[in-house]
Amino acid sequence: MPPTQHRALRQQTLPRLEGDWTLNTYIGDKVFQDRLHLQRDAEGELEGTLSVPNGFTAEVEDLKEEGAGHFGFSIHPNEGNGEFEVNYSAEMDPKDEVFVGFARLADGNLIGGFVAQRTKP
């Protein structure tokens, strides 16, 4: 993909992600309400954290556009047994403040799916 086209794609989805989100994450028969916070750094790039209540907070890494409306990022949480990698892939609704996707371990094994909505102030 030409660099100019890639930049155009980045302008479609990533700017919409700035702010606070609640991820209703479905793992087995349980639903967890995780928190995603994204803000601009000094260079204007998005950075942030993903928090699991009563669990962990991990830095969002490698946030990138993966096509029109699609994006992904990784985290490296530590739940007491050492760090591990979780990769998130998602699709942003073109009209609503919602995105859906999957969380997978580094080896590709599915952890669960999620539906994210912008957190109301």
pLDDT digits (tens, 9 = 90+) for 83-118: 999 999 999 999 999 999 999 999 999 999 999 999
Please report which confidence band the pLDDT of residue 4 belongs to, taking 50, 70 and 90 as the band edges: very low
Q: What is the dihedral of CA 105, 33, 78, 85, to 10 degrees?
A: 20
Mean pLDDT (the chain, rounded)? 89
Q: Convert the pLDDT of each residue in 17-33 to its tens digit.
A: 999 999 999 999 999 99
Query: What architecture does CATH give domain 3-118?
Result: Beta Barrel (2.40)
Predicted TM-score of the model (pTM)? 0.86
- Average pLDDT (29-49) is 94
For the chain, the domains span 3-118
- Count the neighbouring beta carbons within 10 Å of the beta carbon of residue 73: 21
